[in-house]
Structure 1
Amino acid sequence: MRRRELIKKAGTLALSAAGLPLLSAAEGLVARPVSKLPRWKGFNVLDFFNPDPTNRRQHTPEEYFRWMADWGFDFVRVPMAYPYYVDFDRTRAIRRDEVCRISVERVHEIVDLVDTANHCGLHVSLNLHRAPGFCVNAGFEEPYNLWEDPEALDAFAFHWAYWAKVFRHKTRSQISFDLLNEPCWREDMNDQFSKRAAVPKERYRSLIIKGFDVIRMANPKHLVIADGNNIGTEVIDNIPELDVAQSCRGYAPGLVSHYRAPWVFQQPDDLPAVSWPHRDNGTLYDKAWLREHFAPWITLAAQGTGVHCGECGAWRETPHRVALAWMDDMFSVLTEHDIGFALWEFDGDFGVLNSNRRDVQYDDWYGHKLDRKLLALLQKFV
Structure 2
Amino acid sequence: MQRREMIKKAGALALGAPGLSLLHKAGLLPAKPVNKLPRWKGFNVLDFFNPDSGNKRQSTPEEYFRWMADWGFDFIRVPMAYPYYLDFDRTRPITKEEVYHIDVERVHEVVELVERANRHGLHVSLNLHRAPGFCINAGFEEPYNLWKDPEAQEAFTFHWAYWAKVFRNKTRDQISFDLLNEPCLREDMNDQFSRRSAVPAALYRSLIVKGFDAIRLVNPKHLVIADGNNIGAEVIDNIAELDVAQSCRGYAPGLVSHYKAPWVFQHPDDLPEVSWPSMDNGQLQDKSWLRKHFAPWIALVEQGTGVHCGECGAWRETPHPVALAWMDDMFSILTEHGIGFALWEFDGDFGILNSRRNDVQYVDWYGQKLDQKMLTLLKKFV
Q: TM-score, normalised by structure 2?
A: 0.91
- How far, CA to CA, are the matches of 1:190 and 1:316 in structure 2? 26
2:211 match: 211
- How far, CA to CA, are the matches of 2:292 and 2:108 in structure 1? 43
AA in 1 matched with 2:70:
D
AA in 1 matched with 2:93:
A
1:292-314, Cα deviation, whole Å (9 max, x unpaired): 00000000011110000000000
1:59 match: 59
1:293 match: 293
Instruction: Name the SS for the 2:308 alignment partner.
Output: strand
AA in 2 matched with 1:154:
E
- How far, CA to CA, are the matches of 2:293 and 2:58 in structure 1? 33
Superposed displacement of residue 353, structure 1: 0.2
1:77 touches 1:310 (CA, 8 Å); kept in 2?
yes
Tell me which structure has the larger Cα radius of gyration: 2
2:35 touches 2:307 (CA, 8 Å); kept in 1?
no
1:381 match: 381
Within 5 Å, give how 1:38-77 maps onto structure 2: 38-77=38-77
- How far, CA to CA, are the matches of 2:343 and 2:332 in structure 1? 14
1:320 match: 320
2:102 match: 102
Superposed displacement of residue 35, structure 1: 7.2
2:260 touches 2:317 (CA, 8 Å); kept in 1?
yes
Are positions 1:280 and 2:245 aligned together? Answer: no
Superposed displacement of residue 343, structure 1: 0.2
- How far, CA to CA, are the matches of 2:78 and 2:100 in structure 1? 20
Superposed displacement of residue 58, structure 1: 3.1
1:325-355, Cα deviation, whole Å (9 max, x unpaired): 0000000010010000000010000000000
Superposed displacement of residue 223, structure 1: 0.1
1:135 match: 135
2:223 match: 223
| Identity of matched residues, % | 82
Residues 367 and 346 (structure 1), Cα distance of their counterparts in 2 relative to 1, 3 Å cut: same
Structure 1: 5+ residue runs without aligned partners?
Answer: 1-33
Within 5 Å, give how 1:175-324 maps onto structure 2: 175-324=175-324
2:37 match: 37
1:86 match: 86
- How far, CA to CA, are the matches of 1:59 and 1:359 in structure 2? 28
Instruction: Name the SS for the 1:192 alignment partner.
Output: coil
1:51 touches 1:81 (CA, 8 Å); kept in 2?
yes
Instruction: Name the SS for the 2:360 alignment partner.
Output: coil
Superposed displacement of residue 61, structure 1: 0.6
1:108-166, Cα deviation, whole Å (9 max, x unpaired): 00000001100110000000000000000000000000000000000000000000000
1:114 match: 114
AA in 1 matched with 2:339:
I
AA in 1 matched with 2:46:
L
- How far, CA to CA, are the matches of 1:317 and 1:109 in structure 2? 32
User: Deviation above 6 Å: which 4+ runs of structure 1?
Assistant: none
AA in 2 matched with 1:60:
T
2:331 match: 331
Instruction: Name the SS for the 1:242 alignment partner.
Output: coil
AA in 2 matched with 1:244:
V
- How far, CA to CA, are the matches of 2:287 and 2:261 in structure 1? 23
- How far, CA to CA, are the matches of 1:35 and 1:192 in structure 2? 35
- How far, CA to CA, are the matches of 1:369 and 1:35 in structure 2? 35
- How far, CA to CA, are the matches of 1:57 and 1:200 in structure 2? 35
2:184 touches 2:230 (CA, 8 Å); kept in 1?
yes
Instruction: Name the SS for the 2:97 alignment partner.
Output: helix
Within 5 Å, give how 1:346-357 maps onto structure 2: 346-357=346-357
Instruction: Name the SS for the 2:100 alignment partner.
Output: coil
Instruction: Name the SS for the 1:105 alignment partner.
Output: helix
1:225-269, Cα deviation, whole Å (9 max, x unpaired): 000000000000000110000000000000000000000000000
Structure 2: 5+ residue runs without aligned partners?
Answer: 1-33
1:255 touches 1:274 (CA, 8 Å); kept in 2?
yes
1:85 touches 1:103 (CA, 8 Å); kept in 2?
yes
Instruction: Name the SS for the 1:294 alignment partner.
Output: helix
- How far, CA to CA, are the matches of 1:206 and 1:328 in structure 2? 37
- How far, CA to CA, are the matches of 1:179 and 1:108 in structure 2? 20
1:50 touches 1:80 (CA, 8 Å); kept in 2?
yes
Residues 119 and 137 (structure 1), Cα distance of their counterparts in 2 relative to 1, 3 Å cut: same
1:17-74, Cα deviation, whole Å (9 max, x unpaired): xxxxxxxxxxxxxxxxx97000000000000000001110231010000000000000
AA in 2 matched with 1:141:
E
2:35 touches 2:301 (CA, 8 Å); kept in 1?
no
Instruction: Name the SS for the 1:245 alignment partner.
Output: strand
2:344 match: 344
1:46 touches 1:58 (CA, 8 Å); kept in 2?
no
The number of aligned residues is 349
- How far, CA to CA, are the matches of 2:119 and 2:205 in structure 1? 34
1:37 touches 1:307 (CA, 8 Å); kept in 2?
yes
Instruction: Name the SS for the 1:96 alignment partner.
Output: coil
